[in-house]
Amino acid sequence: MTVQISVTVWTILCFLALMLILDRLLFRPLLSFMDERRSKVDGAREKKESALREREEELHRREEDQAAAEKRSAQELSAAVDAARKDNLRAAADKKADNVRRLEQQRQDLEQESQDIQRQSLPRMGELAAVFAQRLQAWQDRETDDAGDETAAPHAETAVNPAAEKSGAETI
């Protein structure tokens, strides 16, 4: 085997031509395609990371809004409860004042009725006093008669008083 220089030079020239053709037609387009693809992938990653950050910010903002809404709701509920409590206290005070007013009115009505009864019974008071005095006198007479009867007839069971017969009562 002998080395032929002309074949070696032509082989080297063909190899360099092939490398130049492959570089122009295959490697540069392939590398540019790979760079574009890598830039698209990097852009998609950046968009994904940006979207994740935006989503996290949105979630954080919503959580803050929800916390603020819950706080406002709690304050509104507290205000409503306080207002209801004040209304209940006011209604209870009004009811108590109404009851006091009714009680005072009833007291005045009873006082008026008592005065009316006294005015109506005042003219009859003398008549009632006379009847009471007569009954008291009759009772005292009966007591003295009964005391006298016991000495006269100690074992008498019943005696009828003529004054008591008028009133329909018996004395034992």
Over its length of 172 residues, how does the chain's per-residue pLDDT go in tens digits?
A: 788 999 999 999 999 999 999 999 999 999 999 999 999 999 999 999 999 999 999 999 999 999 999 999 999 999 999 999 999 999 999 999 999 999 999 999 999 999 888 888 777 778 888 888 899 999 998 888 877 665 555 554 444 444 444 444 444 4
The mean pLDDT of the chain is 86
Whole-structure pTM value: 0.39
- Pairwise CA distance, residues 171 & 142, whole Å: 9
Sign of CA dihedral 136, 141, 144, 150: negative
- Pairwise CA distance, residues 64 & 70, whole Å: 10
For residue range 12-46, list pLDDT tens digits in order.
Answer: 999 999 999 999 999 999 999 999 999 999 999 99
Beta bridge partners of 159: 171
Sign of CA dihedral 32, 34, 38, 41: positive
Residues with Cβ within 8 Å of residue 150, at least 6 apart in sequence: 156
Q: Per the structure block, which two tokens stand in for 101?
A: 């007013």
- Pairwise CA distance, residues 28 & 21, whole Å: 10
Half-sphere exposure for 14 (CA within 13 Å, toward CB) = 6
Give the pLDDT confidence score for residue 169 in this predicted structure. 45
Lookup result for tokens 């698209």 = 40
- Pairwise CA distance, residues 119 & 123, whole Å: 8
